[in-house]
């Protein structure tokens, strides 16, 4: 069974946690997330031009690059994470250019060697899948696609075709870390996607609090939290792991018990 299948096959919904690689002591921060109950890790690859991200993750990208983080560093963080955590699915999330810079084969082989389970590339839609998708599949790395409120019924099959691991439902038309969508709209869209696919559906963008996470966990297979965690990394530096542990525990508790009442 793949790590994704195991993580999303538990009796409770999954908590997916995002932080940016190279923004502070990433190894310590990742350990804190896992120890506090994160079921899936998304590791952001820093990029100079994060067009789909709001201020919090933009700032994290710049902090990371300012500290000199390279693509090799990102893979080193991933490789060492995999050595410490054998079972936790690890996803790299980022933008096309750093992923294709040395060619898709190089990137796919590095992902496989580092134990990366899946890749979310924000700016490679299904129409440009050739740029990376076939190579990732060849290396056994799941291309994870995004569906959004603008992905209509006619388009959804194209998004789902070739998607692996899980489907990331972006709950708002907008950038990361901003407003959250109405739960009714999320519920309807997740239901719509699940009619057409067996993939687990995780919902993200704008989820900050345990209360929001719990509401989403009632209607989805997973909840993604990013900006709120990234802000902690930025604000607390070396003290971030303790603070991350605190928020992640509360989020995990909320997500894992959301369907019990």
Partner 1 sequence: MNTPLNSFRNLPDERGHFGQFGGRYVAETLMPLVLDLEREYRAAQADPAFQAEFDDLLEHYVGRPSPLYFAPRLTEELGGAQVWFKRDELNHTGAHKINNCIGQILLAIRMGKTRIIAETGAGQHGVATATVCARFGLPCVIYMGAEDVKRQSPNVFRMKLLGAEVVPVTSGGATLKDAMNEGLRDWVANVHDTFYIIGTAAGPHPYPEMVRNFQSVIGKEARAQMLDRTGRLPDLLVAAIGGGSNALGLFHPFLDDPTVKMLGVEAAGHGLDGDEHAASLLGGTPGVLHGNRTYLLQDEDGQITEGHSISAGLDYPGIGPEHAWLKESGRVDYTAVTDEEALDAFQLLCATEGIIPALEPSHAIAAVKKVAPTMPKDSIILANLCGRGDKDIFTVAERLGVEL
Dihedral sign (CA 188, 194, 196, 197): positive
**Stretch in the footprint of partner 1 (CB under 8 A) among 108-116, 171-179, 183-191, 193-201:** 171-179
The mark string for 99-118 relative to partner 1 (x by CB under 8 A, - otherwise) is xxx-----------------
Rule CB under 8 A: say whether 162 interacts with partner 1: no
Establish whether 42 is a catalytic residue.
Answer: yes
Nearer to partner 1, 58 or 248 (CB): 58
- The one catalytic residue in 31, 39, 49, 53 is 53
Among 87, 105, 128, 138, binds partner 1 (CB under 8 A): 128
- For the segment 200-229, give every residue that binds partner 1 (CB under 8 A): none
With vertex at residue 202, the alpha carbon angle to CA 246 and CA 171, rounded to the nearest 5 degrees, is 95
- The one catalytic residue in 23, 39, 42, 164 is 42
d(CA 119, CA 60): 19
Establish whether 128 is a catalytic residue.
Answer: no
Rule CB under 8 A: say whether 122 interacts with partner 1: yes
- For the segment 75-94, give every residue that binds partner 1 (CB under 8 A): none
Rule CB under 8 A: say whether 67 interacts with partner 1: no
Rule CB under 8 A: say whether 149 interacts with partner 1: yes
Kindly give, in sequence order, each residue whose CB lies less than 8 Å from that of residue 168, ignoring residues fewer than 6 positions away: 120, 144, 145, 146, 147, 202, 203, 204, 224
Rule CB under 8 A: say whether 36 interacts with partner 1: no
Dihedral sign (CA 98, 100, 103, 105): positive
Q: Which of 247, 249, 177, 215 is nearest to 13 (CA)?
A: 215
Output the DSSP codes for 164-220: -S-EEEE-SSS-TTSPPPPHHHHHHHHHHHHHH--S-EEEESS--SHHHHHHHHTTS
**Smallest separation, CB 11 to partner 1 (Å):** 30
| 248 touches 15 (CB < 8 A) | yes
**Smallest separation, CB 98 to partner 1 (Å):** 4
**Stretch in the footprint of partner 1 (CB under 8 A) among 22-30, 36-44, 148-156, 219-227:** 148-156
Helix, strand, coil abundance in the chain, percent, nearest 5:
50, 15, 35
- For the segment 46-65, give every residue that binds partner 1 (CB under 8 A): 47-52, 54, 58, 62, 65
Q: Which residues are catalytic?
A: 42, 53
């Amino acid at each position: 069974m793949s790590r994704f299948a195991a993580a999303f096959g538990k009796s409770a919904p999954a908590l997916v946690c995002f932080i940016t690689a190279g923004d502070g002591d990433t190894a310590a921060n990742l350990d804190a997330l896992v120890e506090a109950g994160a079921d899936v890790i998304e590791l952001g690859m820093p990029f100079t031009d994060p067009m789909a991200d709001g201020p919090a993750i933009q700032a994290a990208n710049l902090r990371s690059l300012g500290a000199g983080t390279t693509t090799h560093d990102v893979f080193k963080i991933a490789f060492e994470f995999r050595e410490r955590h054998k079972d936790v699915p690890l996803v790299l999330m980022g933008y096309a250019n750093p992923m294709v810079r040395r060619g898709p084969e190089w990137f796919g082989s590095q992902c496989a060697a580092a134990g990366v389970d899946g890749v979310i590339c924000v700016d490679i839609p299904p129409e440009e899948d050739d740029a990376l998708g076939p190579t990732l599949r060849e290396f056994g790395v799941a291309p994870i696609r995004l569906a959004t409120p603008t992905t209509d019924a006619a388009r959804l099959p194209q998004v789902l075709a070739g998607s692996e691991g899980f489907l990331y439902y972006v709950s708002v038309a907008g950038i990361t870390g901003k407003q959250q969508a109405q739960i009714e709209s999320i519920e309807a869209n997740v239901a719509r996607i699940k009619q057409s696919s067996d993939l687990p559906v995780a919902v993200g963008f704008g989820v900050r609090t345990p209360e929001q996470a719990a509401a989403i966990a009632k209607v989805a297979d997973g909840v993604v939290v990013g900006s709120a965690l990234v802000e902690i990394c930025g604000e607390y530096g070396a003290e971030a792991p303790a603070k991350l542990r605190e928020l992640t525990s509360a989020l995990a508790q909320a997500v894992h018990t959301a369907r019990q009442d």
